[in-house]
Amino acid sequence: ITSKLPHIGTTIFTIMSRMATEEGAINLSQGFPGFGADPVLLELAGKYIREGYNQYPPMAGIPGLRQRLAEKTQLTQGYFPDPEKEVTIVSGATEALFAAVAAVVRLGDEVIVLEPAYDSYEPAITLNGGIPIYVSVNSGDFSVDWEKVKAAISPKTRVIMVNSPHNPSGFVWSSEDVDHLAELVRDREIYVISDEVYEHITFDGRKHISLGSHPELREKTFVCGSFGKTFHVTGWKIGYCIAPVDMTSEFRKIHQYLTFTTVTPIQYALAEYLEDPVRYLSIPEFYQSKRDLFAKGLAETQLKFTPSAGSFFQLASYGHLSQISDQELAEKMTRKLKVACIPISVFYSDKRDDKIIRFCFAKADQELLEALERLKELP
């Protein structure tokens, strides 16, 4: 078979998680919670399965969940998307991102991608005939260099793909960033695909600003989110896309033939669970204590870092300690120290090695403390 994606192998998340299991290492690599979800949510899922909510739901998602998501959006972001025509429930943010790309990218279109970037963007673009145009964020704090983004725009630019809170850096956009983007796409036929899977994980009082909350950007943006990330159930693979009516209509044409629908009982469970806003409003506090615990311990190691501003990831640099590549270090740490992490060179198109590794701190406190003890042994 002639591969359509010859440059793609197994994802680093799978590789590192597998290595962690083989080595019996504490797995701070792949981003998934190491603790259970709220028993109330699990009970609801069981209830709806037992009560027979097990056949195909409506293609766009059950009305109850779309309504609750619109209400959540109103409460947290100050705008109310039309549940009927602007909200679609899909099988995870990965599907939302892919379907959004497929809905608008045509052969030869350019898609600006800010890097370091999550690994699913590029294959989605390439498979849909698009050309990724990479713009690096500033090294150091991972803020966006808007002049560079502007310089990357060409008559062929069709989409800009963005992600805040950012994986892997944790960088969280300010309202100035949002305004910059709005200015760049103003009067241009450019869509925005906004990966907001960490929307509820921000620290030190920062607030996530959804691009959907900006009146101009709202008209051009596919907002992609993940219930799996938000409610500690990544294996449920359920997410959403919010976009204006005409864009949603194209998005649904793709969703209809990609997966058609997503898991029925879980949609009912989430709809009921979302009735109480405390369930998502309490998430920043929950993760802040983990971020703080991890940062406190990391300060006692020789790694250098700035505490994460959002997401459940913490970056750390080691260039002052060793010159081995980040991939080698990640492997060595997994096998010798028994702590697995992600080398961030894999998030760059040119695989540049800035000697930075990523830890996921969405783990039980005891596990984090044990990992931190081991990290003290570095280098």
Smallest distance from the beta carbon of 167 to ligand GLN, in angstroms?
5
Question: How many Å apart are CA 233 and CA 213, to the nearest integer?
Answer: 26
Q: How many C-beta neighbours within 10 Å does residue 189 have?
A: 10
| Closer residue to ligand GLN, CB minimum distance, 121 or 203 | 121
- Please give the C-alpha separations between residue 319 and each of 143, 324, 326, in angstroms, as whole numbers: 21, 8, 9
- What φ, ψ does residue 332 adopt, rounded to 5°? -60, -45
Question: How many Å apart are CA 308 and CA 211, to the nearest integer?
Answer: 21
Smallest distance from the beta carbon of 302 to ligand PMP, in angstroms?
28
Compute and round to an integer the Cα radius of gyration of the chain: 20
Show the binding pattern over residues 146-175: x = contacts ligand PMP (CB under 6 A), - = does not. Answer: -----------------x---x--------
103 near ligand PMP (CB under 6 A): no
Question: How many Å apart are CA 267 and CA 283, to the nearest integer?
Answer: 20
118 near ligand PMP (CB under 6 A): yes
Question: How many Å apart are CA 68 and CA 294, to the nearest integer?
Answer: 33
| Closer residue to ligand GLN, CB minimum distance, 66 or 363 | 363
CA angle 350, 352, 355 (to 5 degrees): 160
348 near ligand GLN (CB under 6 A): no
Q: How many residues sit in the footprint of ligand PMP (CB under 6 A)?
A: 14
Q: How many C-beta neighbours within 10 Å does residue 286 have?
A: 13
11 near ligand GLN (CB under 6 A): yes
- Where does this chain touch ligand PMP (CB under 6 A) — which range of 55-63, 78-86, 222-230, 294-302? 222-230
Rule CB under 6 A: which of 20-49 touch ligand GLN? Answer: 30-31
Smallest distance from the beta carbon of 298 to ligand PMP, in angstroms?
21
Q: How many residues sit in the footprint of ligand GLN (CB under 6 A)?
A: 5
Largest separation between any pair of C-alpha atoms in the chain:
58
Smallest distance from the beta carbon of 15 to ligand PMP, in angstroms?
15
Show the binding pattern over residues 228-267: x = contacts ligand PMP (CB under 6 A), - = does not. Answer: xx----x----x----------------------------
| Closer residue to ligand GLN, CB minimum distance, 120 or 302 | 120
Angle between helices 264-273 and 39-50 (to 10 degrees): 140
- Say what the alpha-carbon torsion angle 361, 364, 367, 369 is, to the nearest 10 degrees: 70
Q: Which residues bind ligand GLN (CB under 6 A)?
A: 11, 13, 30-31, 167
Tell me which residues touch ligand PMP (CB under 6 A).
31, 92-94, 118, 163, 167, 195, 197, 226, 228-229, 234, 239
